Amino acid sequence: MTIATDLAPDIAEMAQAHSLRRYLFRRSKGLKMAEYTSGGQEVEKAFALANALPFCRIRQDGQPWDIYLGPDTSIRDDTFLQGFFTLCAPDPGDPEAPYRWQRLLKECQSNRLKALRKWRNLGAEAISRAAMQRSSRMADSEVAKTKLKPIYLRKPNGKKPLKAPVEPEKPRGRAQKA
């Protein structure tokens, strides 16, 4: 039997879904978080000083800061989401970058939790594939050694059966003078 509370998402996941929507909105519009506030609105320090407005600093020294969400770093700290954005997000110099961010925003606005879960899964899949590709593969000689019987892998306990080839002292054939 399924209880209604089992279907409800947890509060932290819902908060991250809201942060994701705000992140995509600000990213698609190119809005960066200002470090100062005046009267409850984000302002630049130069604007507040020029207009003689009382202002206070939002960003605290030593605290994490996201350029699009400010003190909320839940999106920046999510490794799987960052993996997805690394693959699917456009380059900053791309002229169609805002359009692509708007497409992601539209998908997120239709269902935040579904988009968050889907993008996390895609990011986790991309990271796991990259990790598998990065793992070193065995060389052909190592593969051959795994197929040999252990008796042939022992080190010999006598003299070498063949001598090492001797390198000639002077080159053979016609020697060119420089």
Whole-angstrom Cα distance, residue 19 to residue 104?
14
Structure confidence at residue 1 (pLDDT): 44
Instruction: Please state, for a pLDDT cut of 90, what percent of the chain lies above it.
Output: 25
The mean pLDDT value for 149-175 works out to 64
57: β partners: 36
Structure confidence at residue 68 (pLDDT): 80
Q: Could you give the 3-state DSSP secondary structure of residue 7?
A: helix
The residues, ordered by sequence, that sit 6+ positions from 68 with a Cβ below 8 Å of its Cβ are 23, 26, 27, 31, 32, 33, 75
Residue whose C-alpha is closest to residue 33's, from 2, 3, 62, 76: 76
- For the stretch 125-144, pLDDT in tens is 999 988 887 765 666 666 66
pLDDT band at residue 107 under the 50/70/90 scheme: very high
- For the stretch 21-43, pLDDT in tens is 999 998 888 888 877 777 767 77
- For the chain, the domains span 10-32+67-132
**Most trustworthy range by pLDDT among 79-88, 91-100, 164-173:** 79-88
pLDDT band at residue 71 under the 50/70/90 scheme: confident
pLDDT at 3 over 60: no
Residue whose C-alpha is closest to residue 129's, from 84, 174, 171: 84
Instruction: Please state, for a pLDDT cut of 70, what percent of the chain lies above it.
Output: 70
